[in-house]
Structures are given as structure tokens and as C-alpha cells.
Amino acid sequence: MSNSTRRYDLDWLRIFAVLLLIYFHTAAVFYQGELGEFYITNETKSFALNLFILFVHQWHMPLFFFLAGAASWYSLQVRSGWDYFIERVRRLLIPLTVGILTLVAPQVYLNRVHQNAFQGSFLEFYPSFFNGIRPTGNFEWAHLWFIAYLFTLSIAALPIFLRFRKIEHPDSTSFIVLFSLAIPLAIIEAFLRPRWLGFQNLYDDWANVLLYFTYLIYGYVLSSSTAFQGALDRYRSQIISIAVLGMTTLLIFWITDSVPDRSYSPAYMLYQAFRGVNSWFWILTLLSIARYSLQLQNRYLQYLSEAAYPIYLIHQTIVVTIAFYVVRWNTSITVKFMVISTTSLMLILLVYEFLIRRWQSLRFLFGLK
């Protein structure tokens, strides 16, 4: 994107989403529920942080894929399909490979030590990282699942992207159209989520694959629509009201432990359909608020826009490492949360500034120019 067409609101949203991950994965240390255990877990759990995890989980990854779709639209305005493919390999596949070998293995090692399933040094553990795919083995892609999914879905969507590179948008978008875009998401959640809860293994995760593919396409098609952007402005109060009301309803379900059991029952399918609609309205809410209040360009935006991707790649390894030691402390959850998140943020920024940003070879390996 040239500076004249760059969407600063989307840049700020991407930065917000990436930085939020530090606090999300710190909260995961104190989480217990159907989303599964984190690599390092505190003995005592936090109900408040459980709710925080469930709240953020509603819209966080859909936002990432929507923003990735928007970025693909801008990318294909100045690139051919082949150039886009090469850019995906350079920016996604290479960092994914490097990250699995250097950033994921330490997390699995610390998890095994934390669970008293391995004793020894990291170098002694490393060969066993390749002894099979988890859960039967140690090999996995941890938080880098997003990169694997984005690469796969971007290539799968490329024919659609090229077909709709130039889109004739309507002059205006009604609220009914905004709402109707939630219907495919609700259908995916209702009919696929009972079977595939979602553990990001790509080959047997059809609820997430189709959900994130839809968000990717939505981001691609809608980011260039002035009618869609106008609707975000025109219906801002209605969008926010529906999102807040929907999340309040879900919070009541979570707090009262009233979520139906996972099955193909009408109650559970309706619950998941409701989640699908709610997620979409939170995406609309964040896009609308960003359009209203995050149009500022400054040196912080320029710095953090470049830093966001490397921060995503390295953040979880640092959070896991710090949490490995902090959970042993005899202190409150609040203190542990603040120490893990704050120390992680500072260390992540230091690693980016003094290692990744300043070394050309590391810039390449972490997807930067």
C-alpha cells in the first residue's frame, strides 16, 4: 500500500491484536476449560481470567484472518498472482519452518519438564522433538498454527482473490446486509463445531478451517468497499449494542455454567450459531471503533507495524519461559500475571529491537524485508 491509500485503522487493529496475545497467553497460564491446558499452568486457577480468555477467544483469531484478507487485497493491487505466492512463501512458510525448529521446541521442552515428563537439558531433549506428532509425540507448531493456516488458506483462496481483484461494490450497504454476513458463520459454528471443537491441526479441524477461510474472504472483499466502511460509521451504535448484548448473554451462560453439552442437540447448535453471530458483530465493532478513533499516523505506528509480525512469532516462547519460573512463586495470581505479562512485553521488545530488527539475516528469517 502506498501512504496515500494505507488504512491506518487496520494497522492499529493488527498491532492491538498482536500485543493482546501477550496478555491472552499469560492469562492461559491460569485457565482451565474446554480450550485445553496451556504449556505452563499455575496450580491455582482464576475465574476472572477464565472469562477474559473466553471473551477474547470469541473474536481474536477471526480478527486476525479478516485483517489478513484485507492485507491480501492491498497486496494483489500491486502484485501478480505468482508474486503473491512467492511473497507468501517468503513471509509465511520460511518463518513457520524456522519458528517450529527454534521457537516451538523450547515450549514443548518446558512443558515436558513442567509435567515431570522429562528430565535433562534442552539439547538432550531436542532430538525427541521429532519423534512424532503430538499428542503421541512431541512435534507440533504451537502458536504458529496461525501461520500454517494463513499460508494454506491464502493459497487456496488465491483463485478467488484473483477473480475478484477488481470488485464493483454497491453504493451503500444496509444493516440487513451486515447482519446477513453472519449467517454463513452461524451455520459453520452450528453444524461443524459439535464435531470439530478445534485444535488447529489443519487436516482434521474443519470448523476452524471453514470459519477462518470465510473471514479471510470477508476481509479481502470488504476492505476495499467504501459502502461497507460507510455502514460501519452509519450503524456504529447498533453494531456495538448488539455485540455488547450478545457478549453479555454469553457471559451469563459461562458464569452460570449453563453452556449445553457438546453434541448435535438443538440447544448446543443454537448456542454455537449464536456464538458465530456474536463473533461477527465484535469484528464489526472493532472495525467501526478503529475507523472512528484510530486513523492516526505517527512514528509509533510505523515502528509497531513492522514489529507486529516478529512479536507474534516470538511472544509465546518468551511467555512460556517466564511463566515456567514464575508459577513456582508463593504469591498471588495477580502478582504472577503482572510479572509474566510485563516482563514478557519488555523482553519481546528488546529481542525485536536488538536482534531481529538490526540483523538482516534475522529480518529475512522472521518475514521482514
Q: Which three cell numbers stand for residue 294?
A: 484510530
Average pLDDT of the segment spanning 3-19: 87
Average pLDDT of the segment spanning 316-337: 98
Percent of the chain whose predicted confidence (pLDDT) is above 90: 89
Instruction: Report the distance separating Cα 223 and Cα 238, nearest Å.
Output: 20
The DSSP secondary-structure symbol of 329 reads S
Instruction: Report the distance separating Cα 264 and Cα 190, nearest Å.
Output: 8
- Specify the amino acid at residue 76: L
Q: How confident is the model over 226-285, as pLDDT tens digits? A: 999 999 999 999 999 999 999 999 999 999 999 999 999 999 999 999 999 999 999 999
Helical segments of 6-144, H only: 8-28, 47-57, 60-75, 81-88, 94-99, 105-114, 122-125
pLDDT of residue 134: 85
Query: Given a cut of 50, is residue 4 above it in pLDDT?
Result: no
Least confident of 14-18, 91-95, 164-168: 164-168
C-alpha dihedral (336, 58, 316, 210), degrees to nearest 10: 160
Instruction: Report the distance separating Cα 2 and Cα 4, nearest Å.
Output: 5
Going from N- to C-terminal start, the domains of the chain cover: 8-365
Average pLDDT of the segment spanning 141-153: 97
b/e 319-338 (16+ beta carbons within 10 angstroms → b) = bbbbbbebbeeeeebeebbe
Average pLDDT of the segment spanning 185-210: 93
Q: How confident is the model over 41-53, as pLDDT tens digits? A: 999 999 999 999 9
Whole-model pTM: value is 0.95
Non-local (6+) Cβ contacts of 59 within 8 A are 279, 282, 283, 286
Instruction: Report the distance separating Cα 236 and Cα 244, nearest Å.
Output: 12
pLDDT of residue 3: 41
* Whether the Cβ atoms of residue 219 and residue 65 lie closer than 8 Å to each other: yes
Query: Given a cut of 70, is residue 2 above it in pLDDT?
Result: no
Helix (H) or strand (E) holding 311: helix 299-326
Beta bridge partners of 133: 139
pLDDT of residue 171: 76
Q: How confident is the model over 72-99, as pLDDT tens digits? A: 999 999 999 999 999 999 999 999 999 9
Average pLDDT of the segment spanning 186-215: 94
Instruction: Report the distance separating Cα 155 and Cα 216, nearest Å.
Output: 11
pLDDT of residue 1: 44
- Specify the amino acid at residue 42: N
Average pLDDT across the chain, whole number: 95
Instruction: Report the distance separating Cα 235 and Cα 239, nearest Å.
Output: 6
For every residue of 253-289, DSSP letters joined together read HHHTT-PPPSSS-HHHHHHHHHHHHHHHHHHHHHHHH
Beta bridge partners of 139: 133
pLDDT of residue 295: 87
Query: Given a cut of 80, is residue 192 above it in pLDDT?
Result: yes
pLDDT of residue 368: 94
